[in-house]
Amino acid sequence: MAASNDILTDAFVDVCSALVARTPGFWRWLGDQEGACLQPNLERIDADRPVYICGLARSGSMVLLELLAANPETASHQYRDFPFVLAPFMWNRLLDQVPRAEQAPAERTHKDRLLVSAQSPESMQEPLWMHFFPSIQDESLSNVLDERTEHPAFEKFYNRRLQKMLYLRGGTRYLAKGN
């Protein structure tokens, strides 16, 4: 999808993804440091009434995400945030400094005729949740989160991530999807 002279080549993203997967604690720490540096800006942001899109794979949730993301009041993760979703502000600022070729939208790997670019909205929730709920993908365990579920550290962490997205993208409502 990326041009050969673009920092976001598939090979580069693969190497960075492996680095993040091998050192998750470091990236969480870096994301926390980013939050501390942005604290004066983030404390004024109310991550109120986030919008979540839920649907089965290939049910149209991506189309709905793109429609809602076109509203300037919404802020969502983008393809360009991956793999450094825990430190999106730093990563986006770095990307803004690197000269890159203009990238034409390309069809997603799902071969569903949906065209995406680095700026297209995308679901990036899973890496955030996995830091606090490492067994969330273990189908042999119940992963129900209900009104009895309490995890103050996660709640603080997650709210800070929503504030970062709102600060980075300039919206007032966080927008996410999950399948």
Q: How far is C-alpha 105 from the chain's CA centre?
A: 19
Asked whether residue 3 is assigned to any structural domain, the reply reads no
Query: Rounded to two decimals, what is the model's pTM?
Result: 0.85
Reported as a single tens digit per residue, the pLDDT across 34-84 is: 999 999 999 999 999 999 999 888 888 989 999 999 999 999 999 899 999
Q: Rounded to an integer, what distance in angstroms lies between the CA atom of residue 42 and that of residue 166?
A: 9
- Answer yes or no: is 5 within a domain: no
In a domain, 143, yes or no: no
The answer to whether residue 144 sits within a structural domain is no
- Structural domain for 83, as ranges: 10-138+149-178
> What radius of gyration, in Å, describes the C-alpha atoms of the chain?
16
Domains in the chain, number: 1
Q: Is residue 104 part of a domain?
A: yes
Amino acid at 174: Y
CB–CB of 128/85 below 8 Å?
A: yes
